[in-house]
Amino acid sequence: MQLSDLVTRMMNEPSPIRQIMKMAEKQNIINMGLDPDEIISYGGGWVGHHAPEPLRREYARICGDVESFHDSGKYSPTLGFDECRKAIAAMEKELFGVSLSTEHIIVGHSSTQLTHDLFVALANPGDRILLFDPTYANYPGQIHMTLKDARIVRQPVLDTGRWEYKSEDEMAEDFKVLHEREKPKMTIIPSPDNPSSQIFGDIFINTIADVCQDTDTFMVFDYAYKTQCFINPPGYFSWSPADHPSMIAVHSNSKWGRGLGRRLGWIDADERVIDAMERVQQRSILCPDTLHQFAFTRYIEHALEDGSLKRYLAEIKNAYRKAAEVTVKAIQEYLHLPCLIPQGGLYTLMKVGEDGDAFVKRVLKHTGVLFIPGKGFGDTLREAVRISYGPHVENVAIIEEGFRRVADYLKG
């Protein structure tokens, strides 16, 4: 059987993250002589908190009523239902002060699909795309899939000596030089970031905005973790595409309300970008999911009105902040290895001082504790691992136990 060259190449070069996740599958764990029930995983790139109860009740209401359920089986407009786009605009205004009208919004299946479609809508196969190093591991594969001969240009943002992000001024200078030299069509900015949980500051982002505006290129914010921001939100969190036509903001329902499997996302951007995305999305998914839009819209309308959305998000944010603190404290107390202080999101990065792959395999085999090797996120993380506290947010006691185990092994 002859598969496409693209997919054959992908299958021959599985990502390091995929390899480790395979290694951590139940049968492999048993083959290593370990008990699968004793594994402590810091590998999961997902959230462990519960969705808002009124949202669950909304699904129950739709599914419990014959006609509502029937209605939720119809196609949605490609751009999403107007009511849903209005609810998104109201939510963005209330939570972040972003001014949007429905013309600025397209609803999609997820931020993964929307990002894929954005590459098709905005760039040509030979274009250059600027990614930071480290950055979210899925982007390079998505770029190669949509834009075959695209060149990925990497800007290192982590100072691997001091194990902290470079100063904003330094990042801004690096960006100007790199952008001038490579002329990328798009710059992708996850903030808060996966894997580093850092939030880029206003000085750096203002520089990117000025350069993108002057060169008529795009800056794409990936806001998958926007509501899990532990520091004072930067000014650009409230930017609207009406004031910044070169900015595109990709949003996801996955992380804020534990909707990872109830797939829904949206983009806000200049109307011309939304128009282009409508054409592409018509071909990729035809339209977003109707049931999720119905439940989400009703929930948001009510939760904005009675103030419960803000209360829910504040609670969730505090739970992740606490999980982050417990994680950093355990690393400092047991392992004494450098790690980043999370400013939002679900992760920290720990410098292990040896090849990250080898460290992860060795530690898993001897302790049953799973980390993610850093390499898949960029060259700056060759000697680092990503640690996720996201799945443990409702059971933070387990976080410490894993580091204690690893410390015992490394000592002895």
Ligand X SMILES: Cc1ncc(COP(=O)(O)O)c(C=O)c1O
The residues that touch ligand X, with contacts defined as CB under 6 A, are: 45, 110-112, 136, 190, 194, 222, 224, 252, 254, 260, 265
Considering beta carbons, is residue 45 or 184 the nearer one to ligand X? Answer: 45
**Least distance CB 51 / ligand X (angstroms):** 14
Considering beta carbons, is residue 113 or 215 the nearer one to ligand X? Answer: 113
CA separation for the pair 265, 246 (Å, rounded)? 20
Considering beta carbons, is residue 198 or 254 the nearer one to ligand X? Answer: 254
**Least distance CB 225 / ligand X (angstroms):** 7
Who contacts 401 (Cβ-Cβ below 8 Å, separation ≥6)?
Answer: 40
Considering beta carbons, is residue 229 or 406 the nearer one to ligand X? Answer: 229
Considering beta carbons, is residue 116 or 185 the nearer one to ligand X? Answer: 116
Q: How far is the CA of 398 from the CAs of 40, 220, 326, 390, 404, in angstroms?
A: 8, 36, 10, 12, 10
Strand ranges of the sheet holding 105-108, from the earlier edge strand across to the other edge: 105-108, 265-269, 247-252, 218-222, 186-190, 128-133, 151-156
Considering beta carbons, is residue 113 or 213 the nearer one to ligand X? Answer: 113
Helix (H, G, I), strand (E, B) or coil at 46: coil
Copy the structure tokens of residue 29.
């764990």
**Least distance CB 2 / ligand X (angstroms):** 30
Copy the structure tokens of residue 245.
């036509």
Considering beta carbons, is residue 85 or 292 the nearer one to ligand X? Answer: 292
Q: What is the DSSP string of 107-138?
A: EES-HHHHHHHHHHHH--TT-EEEEEES--TH
**Least distance CB 84 / ligand X (angstroms):** 16
CA separation for the pair 369, 290 (Å, rounded)? 40
In the beta sheet, which residues pair with residue 186? 129, 218
**Least distance CB 232 / ligand X (angstroms):** 21
Helix (H, G, I), strand (E, B) or coil at 159: strand
**Least distance CB 199 / ligand X (angstroms):** 12
What's the start-to-end Cα distance of the chain, in Å? 50
Element (H, E) at 305: helix 290-305
**Least distance CB 88 / ligand X (angstroms):** 14
